[in-house]
């Protein structure tokens, strides 16, 4: 058992002094309370004296494509479809399971050093079938990050062959993984029909049925780009969210939509009415010039919102704290309203919003929840100033903080970042492997 004694603890939406957090050996938060009282109550607990640290819940990266970290810096500054062809489609056919593993270790390591304790990887590069999924899961375990595999179901044949499966194959594979990891506390599997442009209506329905069967949510990219809206309007004479509503996949509140940039008012209403949730990826939407999601309308309608970095080749940072900042800033300028999204709301989206969407007992520091948290050094320049009122702390975290402030990361009670260094993987080796891999793939891709 460990007793953490920080300078400040983020509890019930505010920062408190003289508090402590007790974590049991199973990685669960056993107690949160006044330091003196907890020391008396848990005399055997090992004291973690973190008197310069500010403990906040770990951030939740609710949408990422880990393999895309390998493609960062390639085909930058292109329109969406050109970027897709020149980065994703050009290189992903060469990614074997072992390469996907290398990319995932790279991505998870970087985001963890930036304070992410959970990631949902929306994974679709199945060049080695189910082995490719297993590689990503293994990478998460090796880095020590809590993991939700949004196991993609994809049947549009215009994409590289490794993305594509029949409805039956996709269902079989998602089910196999979900059953295999059912009792693993660090891994969850959710179905993820890719989008209305890359999954057939049958595939989307199958993903929804699986979510019912597994009693979870399903994830789907929705209206990221105008071309999807045009395509759905042409083929179905209605807009994307209207189609999702019509085919019956929204009614039971299981839909988690990614992006939702191009929704009209009726679609925003449908999202709220059907308790759909949204993963918002502001940096990626800016990078790819997608457009600006109407967050205030969705938020005020009651849609649960989490944040995602999206893949590292369309961001190109993979920090949830960064997305909090980008979310608030982009919405302010879009609405010409400094209150469009405030720092409390942005912080909540990156922590408990993502936790709710991924259905994990995390995102808040309270008894019974998993011990997933981050310690930020109050003496990092980017955290200062902090005066006795502590008024600046949360605004500084959202708007000013740099990753240099992230001293410790704890996931499931285990310290995965210690004094700013990864504890489970060797960072130099990760970089070395990534460089070798990319040199090899460059050669292969230039041959074809
Ligand atoms: Zn995505």
Cα 15 to ligand 1 centre (Å) = 34
For 405-419, give one letter per residue: b (16+ CB within 10 A) or e: bbbbbbbbbebbbee
- Position 127 scores a pLDDT of 95
Helix, strand, or coil (residue 51) = strand
Q: What is the pTM of this model?
A: 0.98
Structural domains in the chain plus CATH codes? 2-57+373-411 (2.30.40.10), 59-357 (3.20.20.140)
Token readout for 42 is 């848990």
Tokens 């951030």 — which residue? 59
Q: Across residues 296-321, what is the average pLDDT?
A: 97
For 53-85, give one letter per residue: b (16+ CB within 10 A) or e: bbbbbbbbbbbbbbbbbbbbebbeeeebeebbe
Cα 277 to ligand 1 centre (Å) = 15
Is pLDDT at 171 greater than 90 in this prediction? yes
Residue-wise pLDDT tens digits, 146-164: 999 999 999 999 999 999 9
Is pLDDT at 273 greater than 90 in this prediction? yes
Cα 139 to ligand 1 centre (Å) = 19
Cα 243 to ligand 1 centre (Å) = 20
Cα 286 to ligand 1 centre (Å) = 14
- Position 442 scores a pLDDT of 80
Cα 323 to ligand 1 centre (Å) = 14
Q: Across residues 241-252, what is the average pLDDT?
A: 98
Cα 37 to ligand 1 centre (Å) = 46
User: 185: how many CB neighbours lie within 10 A of its CB?
Assistant: 14
Model confidence band, residue 180 (pLDDT cutoffs 50, 70, 90): very high
Cα 370 to ligand 1 centre (Å) = 27
Cα 247 to ligand 1 centre (Å) = 22
Q: Across residues 182-194, what is the average pLDDT?
A: 97
Cα 54 to ligand 1 centre (Å) = 32
Cα 443 to ligand 1 centre (Å) = 27
Model confidence band, residue 80 (pLDDT cutoffs 50, 70, 90): confident
Cα 64 to ligand 1 centre (Å) = 6
Is pLDDT at 264 greater than 90 in this prediction? yes
- Position 79 scores a pLDDT of 87
Give the C-alpha separation, 234 to 240, whole Å. 11
- List the helix and strand counts (H, then E) for the chain: 17, 17
Residue-wise pLDDT tens digits, 82-100: 989 998 999 999 999 999 9
Cα 237 to ligand 1 centre (Å) = 25
Cα 441 to ligand 1 centre (Å) = 23
Is pLDDT at 292 greater than 80 in this prediction? yes
Cα 72 to ligand 1 centre (Å) = 14
- Position 446 scores a pLDDT of 78
Cα 195 to ligand 1 centre (Å) = 9
Cα 233 to ligand 1 centre (Å) = 22
- Report yes or no: 263 and 243 within 8 Å, Cβ to Cβ: no
- Position 222 scores a pLDDT of 98
Is pLDDT at 448 greater than 70 in this prediction? no
Is pLDDT at 447 greater than 80 in this prediction? no
Backbone angles phi, psi at 180, to 5 degrees: -60, -40
- Position 128 scores a pLDDT of 96
Cα 21 to ligand 1 centre (Å) = 35
**Beta partners for residue 193, in sequence order:** 153
Residue-wise pLDDT tens digits, 355-398: 999 999 999 999 999 999 999 999 999 999 999 999 999 999 99
Cα 331 to ligand 1 centre (Å) = 20
Alpha carbon of 38 to those of 48, 52, 93, 290: distances in Å?
A: 13, 19, 55, 50
User: 139: how many CB neighbours lie within 10 A of its CB?
Assistant: 24
């Amino acid at each position: 058992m460990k007793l953490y004694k920080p300078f400040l603890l983020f509890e019930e939406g505010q920062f408190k002094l003289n508090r402590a957090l007790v974590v049991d050996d199973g990685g669960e938060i056993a107690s949160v309370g006044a330091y003196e009282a907890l020391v008396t109550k848990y005399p055997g607990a090992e004291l973690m004296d973190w008197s310069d640290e500010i403990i906040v819940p770990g951030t939740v990266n609710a949408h990422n494509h880990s393999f895309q970290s390998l493609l960062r810096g390639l085909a930058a500054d292109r329109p969406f479809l050109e970027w897709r062809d020149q980065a994703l489609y050009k290189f992903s056919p060469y990614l074997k399971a072992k390469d996907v593993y290398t990319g995932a270790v790279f991505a998870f390591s970087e985001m963890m050093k930036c304070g992410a304790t959970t990631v949902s990887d929306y994974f679709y590069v199945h060049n080695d079938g189910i082995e490719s999924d297993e590689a990503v899961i293994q990478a998460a375990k090796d880095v020590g990050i809590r993991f939700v595999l949004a196991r993609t179901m994809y049947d549009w044949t215009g994409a590289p062959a490794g993305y594509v499966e029949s409805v039956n194959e996709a269902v079989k594979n998602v089910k196999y993984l979900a059953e295999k990891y059912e009792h693993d506390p660090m891994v969850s599997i959710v179905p993820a029909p890719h989008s209305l442009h890359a999954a057939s209506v049958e595939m989307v329905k199958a993903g929804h049925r699986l979510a019912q069967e597994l009693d979870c949510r399903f994830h789907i990219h929705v209206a990221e780009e105008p071309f999807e809206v045009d395509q759905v309007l042409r083929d179905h004479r209605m807009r994307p969210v209207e189609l999702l509503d019509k085919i019956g996949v929204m009614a039971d509140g299981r839909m988690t939509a990614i992006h939702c940039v191009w929704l009209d008012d009726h679609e925003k209403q449908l999202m709220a009415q059907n308790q759909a949730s949204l993963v918002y990826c502001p940096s990626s939407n800016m990078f790819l010039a997608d457009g600006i999601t109407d967050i205030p309308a969705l938020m005020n309608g009651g849609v649960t919102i989490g944040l995602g970095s999206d893949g590292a080749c369309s961001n190109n940072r993979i920090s949830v704290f960064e997305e909090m900042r980008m979310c608030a800033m982009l919405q302010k300028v879009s609405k010409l309203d400094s209150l469009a999204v405030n720092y409390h709301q942005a912080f909540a989206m990156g922590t408990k919003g993502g936790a709710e969407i991924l259905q994990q007992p995390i995102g808040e520091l309270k008894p019974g929840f998993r011990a997933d948290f981050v310690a930020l050094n109050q003496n990092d320049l980017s955290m200062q100033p902090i005066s006795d009122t502590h008024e600046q702390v949360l605004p500084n975290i959202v708007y000013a903080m740099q990753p240099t402030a992230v001293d410790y990361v704890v996931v499931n009670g285990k310290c995965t970042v210690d004094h700013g260094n990864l504890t489970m993987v060797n960072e130099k080796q990760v970089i070395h492997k990534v460089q070798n891999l990319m040199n090899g793939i460059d050669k292969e891709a230039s041959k074809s």
